[in-house]
A and B are shown apart, each in its own frame.
Chain A
């Protein structure tokens, strides 16, 4: 079944996180530390990711495919008035800056079993459950 190729995609994703250095909190905090010694790694990772995403999408879907997202400025303007989005992203960014991890790297880091990760991941799952069950958060991008 074609869907089982998701296992391979996940593996490339996880390996990519590691190779990119995204699993090291120091790289994340270093990028976010604009007043200190700045680490540009994340900027390059994002650049590489966006370029590869666009190229792969074009190769697979031939430029079409996926639900149309509509004019950029229209959805951006709506987003600026979406309180859940804004509050959620502020909280997410704060947690990211404090812990140096976001969901993907945190899960990847379970492999090495660091104490900070074993504390972070369950807390992250609890946070997700509270948002989903307590606040009806069920959106995706």
Chain B
């Protein structure tokens, strides 16, 4: 059964914005701009390599804030994890993305966009892990997540 309230135009438009911004950033700074790498390297605070990353994050926050404000439907936040699950999920996402060298934007958009076989593999792996996790959490363990 397909989710009834899905909007193909918003999905495509939002996706196009994400893709355009990613390619633009790549062109501007000559680094592959996945969010996990951008944030992770802010934490490393290397001279000469941190300012643009901070600018990107500030921009991200501003753009999201503007969208939430102009189109309140975009601020919808449902199926939120419990606090304990959120902490576990955050640890896994943070650790895993840095260990594996990317995330949905880094591998999924930029990596695949560049034609990287490595990123194709990475994306397939995290997708499968995601499918399996939701299957177990929602259907086998009774849906606490």
Contacts and interface: CB of A to CB of B under 8 A. Distances in A.
Nearest to A83: B99
Would you call the interface of chain B mostly helix, strand, loop, or mixed?
helix
B77 A114 contact: yes
Main secondary structure of the interface of A (DSSP, over half): helix
Contacts, number: 531
Using C-beta atoms within 8 Å of the partner chain, give the interface range for chain B.
35 or more
Nearest to A137: B98
B37 A141 contact: yes
Q: Which 8 A-B pairs have the closest CB atoms?
A: A20-B14, A10-B59, A88-B100, A127-B94, A48-B15, A93-B129, A16-B17, A95-B92
Interface of B: 1-3, 6-8, 10-32, 34-37, 39-40, 43-44, 51-52, 55-68, 71, 74-83, 85-122, 125-135, 137-139, 145
Interface of A: 2-26, 29-30, 32-42, 44-57, 60-61, 65-66, 69-80, 82, 84-104, 106-112, 114-117, 119-132, 135, 137-141
